[in-house]
Structure 1
Amino acid sequence: MKITILGSGNVATHLGKAFLKAGHRIQQVYSRNLANAQALALLLDATAVNSLEMIQTDADLYLLAVSDQAIGSIAAALPQSLRGIVVHCSGATSIESLAHFQQYGVIYPPQSLRKENDSAVSAIPFGVEGYPLATGNILLQLMQKIAPKSFSCNSQQRLALHVAAVFANNFTNSLFQISFELLQAQGLPFDLIHPIMLETVQKALQQEPRSVQTGPAQRGDKLTIEKHLQFISEMPNWVKIYQQLTEEISSKKDK
């Protein structure tokens, strides 16, 4: 399969390398920044371009591995007559943003990818959606060869997966940062809570998270909760987060 990659960032790099390893030909790499396009094209034995007018029209797959904000403008600038499949990689952007093409779809990785890290694409469960149905099947087969856990999903399911990933990854990491700053302010090392962080994730992977919930909110320990709130009272954002999560935990404990 001949593939054109639009984008030169994290997702573009990982998918480009995976497709090349699987025997596909990466035809072109596009980026507005020619140096970025050239850097990735060199890795993928492809041609670098920095103008959408230079995109060849004979590729089998056009991969829009760009920011959510850029998908619409790039898609609009591509010829509607493209016969190849046009896909984006966004969790939150509707598949309908590509509906003016003959074949289109989405391959969404619920994973934080960094191009400088050697992440295993093969372990990621890509959510795959395509139109028409035959195109969806082609995309699923394509992805399952490089990422066997890839699965078919609709736009609503993909959005749910994206929101769930934000809660599990982005928000959790923000809570880790709060913990880091709390300990740092008292001259304590962050690694003191590494064991409980690891245990929390391991339990959540083995059981429904609610069933292994612990802590003052789960116990209804109002005295401890008030002590905690008083301790962080000079950080109003932290107070709001603590109160909101305490309420969420409390609302689940009797269900």
Structure 2
Amino acid sequence: MDIVILGTGNIATHYAKAFQTQGHRITQVYSKTSANASALAEVVSAESVHDLSQISDSAELYIIAVSDQAIKTVIDQLPHQLKGIVVHTSGATPLTVLNRFEKSGVIYPPQSLSKNVETDLSVIPFAIEGNTSEVEQTLLAIAQQISYKSFLCNSHQRITLHIAAVFVNNFSNALYQVAFDLLRQHHLDVELLRPIILETANKVQHHEPKKVQTGPAIRNDVQTIHSHLKLLNQDESLTQIYQNLTDLIIKTR
């Protein structure tokens, strides 16, 4: 399959390499920054393009892998006569933004990807959507070449998945930073937390999270909770976060 990659960021880079590895031909790589387009195009032996008017209209698949805010801009500037399937890779953007194309879809990875970090895509469950059942089956088939966990998913399900991913990835990562900052303020090494971070992550691979919940909130240890809040009382935002999460655990235990 001839594929055009629109974007040169984290997802674009991983997709371009993965599809090429599966025997597909990356014909063009687009970025408004010509140096970025050239860099990725060289990796996958493709033509680099920095003007959307130069996009070929004969590819079989066009992958829009840009930020959510830039998706509509790219769509509006793409040639109208594209013959292939046009997809985006966003978790929060509905399929309907691609309505002006005859064949359209989504290949969304609920994963945090970095272009310079090797990632085993075969374990990622790619969420697939298409504007027709034929398009869906085509996209599902090529996604399953990369990961057998790929599955069909409508726009409502996909944004739900995206929200859930934000909770387990972005929010938890922000809380890790809160914890690291607290330790440093009190002259403690952040390495002290790495074992418990790994232990918690390992537990939820095999158990429902609430079944392995520990800590003062699940025990309703009011005395310890008050001690924690007293230490945090000079930072109103952290106090509120701690109280809200404590209330959530107590409510759902």
Compute the TM-score of the two structures, normalised by the length of structure 1: 0.98
Whether 1:225 and 2:221 are equivalent positions in the alignment is no
Q: Any stretches of 5+ residues in structure 2 without a counterpart?
A: none
Partner of 1:119 in structure 2? Answer: 119
Partner of 2:185 in structure 1? Answer: 185
How many percent of aligned residue pairs carry the same amino acid? 50
Distance of 1:217 and 1:13 partners within structure 2: 43
Partner of 1:88 in structure 2? Answer: 88
Partner of 1:46 in structure 2? Answer: 46
Partner of 2:212 in structure 1? Answer: 212
Where in structure 1 do 4 or more consecutive aligned residues deviate above 2 Å?
none
Distance of 1:87 and 1:157 partners within structure 2: 17
CA contact (8 A) 1:30 1:49 kept: yes
Distance of 1:146 and 1:179 partners within structure 2: 36
Partner of 1:171 in structure 2? Answer: 171
- What SS class does the counterpart of residue 165 from structure 1 fall into? helix
Distance of 1:2 and 1:98 partners within structure 2: 20
Pairs within 5 Å for 1:230-241: 230-241=230-241
Q: How many aligned positions are there?
A: 253
Compute the TM-score of the two structures, normalised by the length of structure 2: 0.98
CA contact (8 A) 2:86 2:98 kept: yes
CA contact (8 A) 1:28 1:46 kept: yes
Give 1:222 shift: 1.3
Give 1:159 shift: 0.8
Q: Any stretches of 5+ residues in structure 1 without a counterpart?
A: none
CA contact (8 A) 2:89 2:108 kept: yes
Partner of 1:20 in structure 2? Answer: 20
CA contact (8 A) 1:15 1:121 kept: no
Aligned CA-pair RMSD: 0.8
Give 1:216 shift: 0.9
CA contact (8 A) 2:218 2:250 kept: yes
Partner of 2:55 in structure 1? Answer: 55
Pairs within 5 Å for 1:58-207: 58-207=58-207
CA contact (8 A) 2:55 2:79 kept: no
Give 1:79 shift: 2.3
- What SS class does the counterpart of residue 83 from structure 1 fall into? coil
